[in-house]
Amino acid sequence: MSIEAAKDVLKKFFGYDRFRPLQRKVIEHVLTGQDSLVLMPTGGGKSMCFQVPAILMPGTCVVVSPLISLMKDQVEGLRTNGVKAAFINSSLSAAEQHQVENDFFNDELDLLYVSPEKMTSQSFQPLLKRAKVNLFAIDEAHCISSWGHDFRQEYTQMRFLKQQFPDTPIIALTATADKITRHDILHQLDMASAKTFLASFDRPNLSLEVRPGQKRFEQILTFINERSNTSGIIYCLSRRSTEDLAEKLQNAGHKAAAYHAGLSARQRSEVQEKFINDQTPIVCATIAFGMGIDKSNVRWIIHYNLPKNMEGYYQEIGRAGRDGVAADTLLFYSFKDVMMLRDILGKEPSAQTDLQLAKLERMQQYAESLVCRRRILLSYFGESLKKDCGNCDVCRNPPTYVDGTVLAQKALSAIYRLRQSEPMGTVIDVLRGSGKKEIRDKGYPSLKTFGVGRDIKNASWQHYLAQLVQLGLVEIAYNQKNALKLTEASKGVLFEKQPVKLVQFSTIKERQEAEKNQVRKRTADAGKQDELFQKLREVRRNLARDFGVPPYQVFSDATLLDMVKKKPMNDREMSQVSGVGERKLYRYGDFFIDAILDHLTEKRGQKGSTYKLTHEMLKKGLTVEEIASKRSLNPATVYSHIAYLYEKGEPVDLSNYISQKEVDTIVQAVPYVEKPIKLKSIYEYFDQAYEYYKIRLALAFYNRNVKKVKPEN
């Protein structure tokens, strides 16, 4: 079984022209009958690594998958691509299970998805032995590790596979790459000799952005309006805030829903269903949402609050852009969030608290970073980026530095005069000379530094103080009600006039403007294509409804964008679009071709150049009849387009429609008919022997090659 044969399968069933580099290596390895462990980020294309060999090799690949919803989604996706796939889990009736087991036994399946319970159950063993299994795939293999967050007891019993089926290869796959998990998987599956394939965990199509958390709602509205009608998730910390936010968005005219663990199972599945089907594009959710959904066209993620750690953050933003198309992520950061999270952690101290605090600190460093964010993110996961990413807010709007010496002196001196006993909020109040009662009650207006920082806004002070903390010039005593303290290093600034460089604070408005320009630049091209994209999305939505599958399973956004680029007008061209396999071409192709032709006709019509479209369609090998029917035109009109194009010197070949002999005969009539020439005169001259369209074409030949005369109809 060669990689060439595997490529044919990839094209035929999935419509892709080539494997991604690591996919190719994995598949080559699997086809030799050896075990593998595959670590790839979400959206990396793990499934192809076992699906292609499964189809190619005789027998069935048995896939263990921990979530019923994922199983269903994958099997549906495979079926729409014409692959023979089925699943067994508790959602099936006994009779349905029996049917699937029969198909499995009779070797009528390429892939069989089973739950871990089923896989390890006694009743399944005899069937497993008697059926023809070509490969075991353990999806979400990190569930094996008791260290991980999704630990599943049944996964630890999977060791029997290697013992009872020593000749059947195993492939384990996960998007969790840490060393402990890796080791656990190899150990638990008893496949020490498996080859490990590790992909980069970078997701370059995800843009990264952090903004100060002021006026979040307004910022969110702007963000959403710039991305109208696209799917996205807003992660919030509490159930309450998911509901508040969803309601506010609804009031602002957006289709949004809240999702959290407090809803009934039915309510939750309804929200999820509508999200998947693009009916409710926006979901405000607690972290529970998104797990077990394969929806590939989530276009953006917003974090309303700072996540607790980088792992969670990366997993959550990772739910966007699984189709590889650009997707945007936005994180709101405020110091208050850090305090709140610290408080939560502090309330129930455990053996893990220190570790969790350290993780929170890394998260905070990321949010406050002044260097490329992707570098920080990847370095956290043990990878290093060779150069700045160019797709994060820091790369796009590099910080401007200003001399912050005087500013730092004021702040440090205020902290000193407050006897290092007040938190950031109070320090800022004193610097700004606040008239608040508690400030007056404490007698702070008499301090020397009271009001020396009046000219600087509250938000700016927060930003500058956070920087002083980062620079080690100020410390936060978390155990003393977050009081700000001086450090050894602050002395240099306070007493020795050491200069301090700070990053200039830019207001949200300024940032939004800058970002908007970026978005505009990025979408300028896309915008031109956007109209067609929207039309294709609508075709997709209708087909999804008719066929009862989620829209992204009809075609992914990536496939629609490729259609927008290639504008296929016939089956041959449509099959060259990435993601269009044989089955989908047959099922959906015409609907999209029609929409593209409609669109082009409309466009050309506006510009008054219907000829061009005919020409393009001719070039693509469509016949006159096909063009006429696709464009709802009379064939005679299409012939007149051809004649026009020929006269203009375009390279159209008249001999497809009329012989040279016919041309010569018709042209002989020219001197004998009334001028200006009417087609009808020639028609009658020859006693109706030649059809109108032939006369039109012959005259075109005459006009281009002999003499200009203007025919009239």
List residues near ligand ADP by CB under 6 A: 16, 19-20, 23, 40, 42-48, 296, 322-324, 556, 578
**Of 139, 135, 183, nearest in space to 161 by CA:** 135
CA distance 261 to 93: 28
Interacting residue with Zn ion among 182, 203, 211, 374 (CB under 5 A): 374
**Of 235, 251, 360, 395, nearest in space to 304 by CA:** 235
CB of 529 to ligand ADP, least distance (A): 20
User: Is 176 or 640 the residue whose CB approaches ligand ADP more closely?
Assistant: 176
Separation in Å, CA 521 to CA 515, 524, 526, 653: 10, 5, 9, 42
Taking the CA atoms of 577, 583, 586 and 590 in sequence, report the sign of the dihedral they define: negative
259 touches which of Zn ion, ligand ADP, none (CB within 5 to 8 A by kind)?
Answer: none
CB of 178 to Zn ion, least distance (A): 24
User: Is 296 or 413 the residue whose CB approaches ligand ADP more closely?
Assistant: 296
**Of 360, 357, 394, 358, nearest in space to 375 by CA:** 394
In this structure, the strands spanning 483-486 and 474-477 are antiparallel
User: Is 16 or 201 the residue whose CB approaches ligand ADP more closely?
Assistant: 16
**Of 398, 399, 362, nearest in space to 379 by CA:** 362
395 touches which of ligand ADP, Zn ion, none (CB within 5 to 8 A by kind)?
Answer: Zn ion
19 touches which of Zn ion, ligand ADP, none (CB within 5 to 8 A by kind)?
Answer: ligand ADP
User: Is 449 or 553 the residue whose CB approaches ligand ADP more closely?
Assistant: 553
Distance of CA 526 to the CA centre of its chain: 15
Are the beta carbons of 642 and 624 closer than 8 angstroms? yes
CB of 393 to Zn ion, least distance (A): 8
CB of 205 to Zn ion, least distance (A): 13
CA distance 565 to 620: 15
CB of 235 to ligand ADP, least distance (A): 19
Taking residues 332 to 371 in sequence order and writing x for each that binds Zn ion by CB under 5 A, - otherwise, the string is: ----------------------------------------
User: Is 388 or 616 the residue whose CB approaches Zn ion more closely?
Assistant: 388
Decide: is 378 part of the binding site for Zn ion (CB under 5 A).
no
* Distance from the first to the final alpha carbon of the chain: 64
40 touches which of Zn ion, ligand ADP, none (CB within 5 to 8 A by kind)?
Answer: ligand ADP
User: Is 9 or 88 the residue whose CB approaches ligand ADP more closely?
Assistant: 9
CB of 303 to Zn ion, least distance (A): 18
Separation in Å, CA 454 to CA 134, 418, 425, 467: 74, 17, 14, 19
42 touches which of Zn ion, ligand ADP, none (CB within 5 to 8 A by kind)?
Answer: ligand ADP
User: Is 424 or 580 the residue whose CB approaches ligand ADP more closely?
Assistant: 580
User: Is 189 or 317 the residue whose CB approaches Zn ion more closely?
Assistant: 317
CB of 387 to Zn ion, least distance (A): 9
In this structure, the strands spanning 282-285 and 231-235 are parallel
CB of 141 to ligand ADP, least distance (A): 12
| Residues near Zn ion (CB under 5 A), total | 6
CB of 582 to ligand ADP, least distance (A): 15
324 touches which of ligand ADP, Zn ion, none (CB within 5 to 8 A by kind)?
Answer: ligand ADP
User: Is 152 or 322 the residue whose CB approaches ligand ADP more closely?
Assistant: 322
Separation in Å, CA 201 to CA 315, 383, 390, 594: 11, 8, 17, 39
Which secondary-structure segment (H or E) carries 77?
helix 68-80
DSSP string, 15-28: --SS--HHHHHHHH
CB of 572 to ligand ADP, least distance (A): 20
**Of 340, 333, 347, nearest in space to 470 by CA:** 333
Tokens of 204: 């370059």
570 touches which of ligand ADP, Zn ion, none (CB within 5 to 8 A by kind)?
Answer: none
389 touches which of Zn ion, ligand ADP, none (CB within 5 to 8 A by kind)?
Answer: Zn ion
User: Is 578 or 610 the residue whose CB approaches ligand ADP more closely?
Assistant: 578
CA distance 710 to 513: 57
User: Is 236 or 395 the residue whose CB approaches Zn ion more closely?
Assistant: 395
CA distance 6 to 19: 9
48 touches which of Zn ion, ligand ADP, none (CB within 5 to 8 A by kind)?
Answer: ligand ADP
CB of 173 to ligand ADP, least distance (A): 8
Interacting residue with Zn ion among 372, 408, 669, 677 (CB under 5 A): 372
Taking the CA atoms of 76, 79, 85 and 91 in sequence, report the sign of the dihedral they define: positive
Separation in Å, CA 611 to CA 358, 381, 408, 646: 67, 56, 70, 11
User: Is 19 or 461 the residue whose CB approaches ligand ADP more closely?
Assistant: 19
Are the beta carbons of 45 and 579 closer than 8 angstroms? no
Surface-to-core class of residue 707, CB atoms within 10 Å of its CB (0-12 exposed, 13-18 middle, 19+ buried): exposed
Distance of CA 409 to the CA centre of its chain: 46
CB of 168 to ligand ADP, least distance (A): 22
Neighbour-count burial for 238-252, b at 16+ CB within 10 Å, e otherwise: ebebbbebbeebeee
CA distance 591 to 539: 7
User: Is 395 or 677 the residue whose CB approaches Zn ion more closely?
Assistant: 395
DSSP letter, residue 282: E
CB of 204 to Zn ion, least distance (A): 10
User: Is 71 or 341 the residue whose CB approaches ligand ADP more closely?
Assistant: 71
Tokens of 696: 């039109």
Residues linked to residue 39 through DSSP beta bridges, in sequence order: 174, 198
CB of 40 to ligand ADP, least distance (A): 5
- The residue range among 110-118, 249-257, 384-392, 681-689 that interacts with Zn ion, by the rule CB under 5 A, is 384-392
Taking residues 387 to 426 in sequence order and writing x for each that binds Zn ion by CB under 5 A, - otherwise, the string is: -xx--x--x-------------------------------
User: Is 190 or 383 the residue whose CB approaches ligand ADP more closely?
Assistant: 383
Q: At what angle do helices 46-56 and 21-31 cross, to 10 degrees?
A: 40
- The residue range among 171-179, 235-243, 372-380, 494-502 that interacts with Zn ion, by the rule CB under 5 A, is 372-380
518 touches which of Zn ion, ligand ADP, none (CB within 5 to 8 A by kind)?
Answer: none
CA distance 367 to 360: 11
372 touches which of ligand ADP, Zn ion, none (CB within 5 to 8 A by kind)?
Answer: Zn ion
Q: Which residues does 651 contact at the CB level (< 8 Å), separation at least 6?
A: none
Are the beta carbons of 625 and 683 closer than 8 angstroms? no
Interface with Zn ion in residues 68-97 (CB under 5 A): none
392 touches which of Zn ion, ligand ADP, none (CB within 5 to 8 A by kind)?
Answer: Zn ion
Give me the residues that bind Zn ion (CB under 5 A), please.
372, 374, 388-389, 392, 395
